[in-house]
Amino acid sequence: MNQATPFITTDDTGLLIIDVQGRLAHLMNDTHHLHQQLSTLIQGAKLLELPIIWVEQLPEKLGETSPDIKQLLAPDLSPIEKHTFSGWHNDELQKAIKAANCKNWLLAGIESHICVYQTCKAMQLDDYQTHVVSDAVSSRTKENKEYGIQMMLRQGALRTNVESALFELQQCANNERFKSLVKLIK
């Protein structure tokens, strides 16, 4: 039986950035690498013209999005504030996701075993195909990061990484956008 899944394309894929906020972001396992990967992913998504949605959990308590990530998103975008662990339980996020008209969503952010996992699970239950970008998610411990990823996979999410996702979306190497993408990755 063939269990291959369709390719993700720029026509049906969006990027959801979850809770990469100041005080919490600095507590993540390998936070420097996480921020590098998030930066590459966001810049690549912009280059590929993907819809990007960004959420913050209780910003009045956890702080705003980390400055290095926020500068890549603002002023073009504004964060959607949430108070639930699953971003999907926020009406404003659901409206934004539905308005983007994408069936596939790349998920990145923190923490993989709490907010990213619960958002992923709820979106899967609502028939969206989620793709956890494993090198652009984290938790305070490596074990919880991996546990969160495994829980998402059990819910039907697909595992990818920054480079795999961006090159799958790019599809070919014979245009200027590819050259820009390669410079971004290197």
Interior CA angle at 88 toward 121 and 66, to 5°? 100
CB atoms within 10 A of CB 182: 12
Indicate if 115 belongs to the active site.
yes
Indicate if 126 belongs to the active site.
no
Backbone angles phi, psi at 146, to 5 degrees: -65, -40
Annotated catalytic residue within 115, 121, 135, 145: 115
The DSSP annotation for 104-167 comes to EEEEEEE-IIIIIHHHHHHHHHTTPEEEEEEEEEE-SSHHHHHHHHHHHHHTT-EEE-HHHHHH
Distance CA 90, CA 96 (A): 10
Annotated catalytic residue within 11, 30, 70, 82: 82
Annotated catalytic residue within 19, 102, 120, 145: 19
Q: How far is C-alpha 162 from the geometric centre of its chain's CA atoms? A: 10
Backbone angles phi, psi at 104, to 5 degrees: -105, 135
Indicate if 103 belongs to the active site.
no
Distance CA 57, CA 119 (A): 12
Distance CA 89, CA 160 (A): 25
Active centre residues (catalytic):
19, 82, 115
